[in-house]
Amino acid sequence: MILLCRLIGVRPSVRHTAMEVGRYMVAIMNEALELKIGNQVLEVGAGSGYHAATIAEQIGPQGRVYTIEFVPELVRVARSNLDRAGYSDGVTLVQGDGSLGYPDRAPYNRIVVTAVAPKVPQPLVSQLQPGGILIIPVGGRMFPQELVKIRKDESGRIQRISLGGVAFVPLIGKEGFDS
């Protein structure tokens, strides 16, 4: 993991890093995802690519990470970092409105959102397969915000669990906040 941090730990421009999620939150979110070898995971908000790389490491070459980013500059940064660190084979990076998910590769075993949404976007719940887990910060553009774990059981019923207060940048998009 130390090598991974060195390889991909390069941060994007100052205006984006001021609000970037800390590495400790990446670990908390990954633990809450209950990742397994071979999972198909959707990450909403690629940022620097670091979080996608940690997920790819945990799900192994049998799994796949799809990460969708709204900000074109961050897509370029993430792609460069993932390529340089050797994760481009295990991570597919797409530019687009992550609040709508990425239906082209759905359903997903796990979905993680790295920006706060005003409510849990229904397209993400729809793209979560039965038995799947969605981790998402929900709340106001500023505060209050809480990290929420959504578990979809085999019959499609949803269980919502609060994991505590957090502070994230807003999710921009049709199911998020206006830019």
Residue spans of the domains in the chain: they are 19-165
Q: Identify the pLDDT of residue 3.
A: 43
**Integer Cα distance of 168 and 90 in angstroms:** 26
Looking up tokens 């993430």, which residue turns up?
78
pLDDT confidence of residue 9: 58
pLDDT of residue 147: 98
pLDDT < 70 stretches in the chain: 1-21
Q: What are phi and psi of 170, to 5 degrees?
A: -75, 145
- Distance CA(115)–CA(147), nearest Å, equals 10
Q: What angle do CA 59, 62, 65 make, to 5 degrees?
A: 55
Neighbouring C-beta atoms of residue 37, cutoff 10 Å: 10
CATH superfamily for 19-165 is Vaccinia Virus protein VP39 (3.40.50.150)
Q: What is the pLDDT of residue 86?
A: 95
Amino acid 179: pLDDT: 85
Number of Cβ atoms within 10 Å of the Cβ of 130: 11
Q: What is the pLDDT of residue 55?
A: 98
The pLDDT of residue 14 is 38
Q: By the 8 A CB rule, do 100 and 128 touch?
A: no
pTM of the model: 0.88
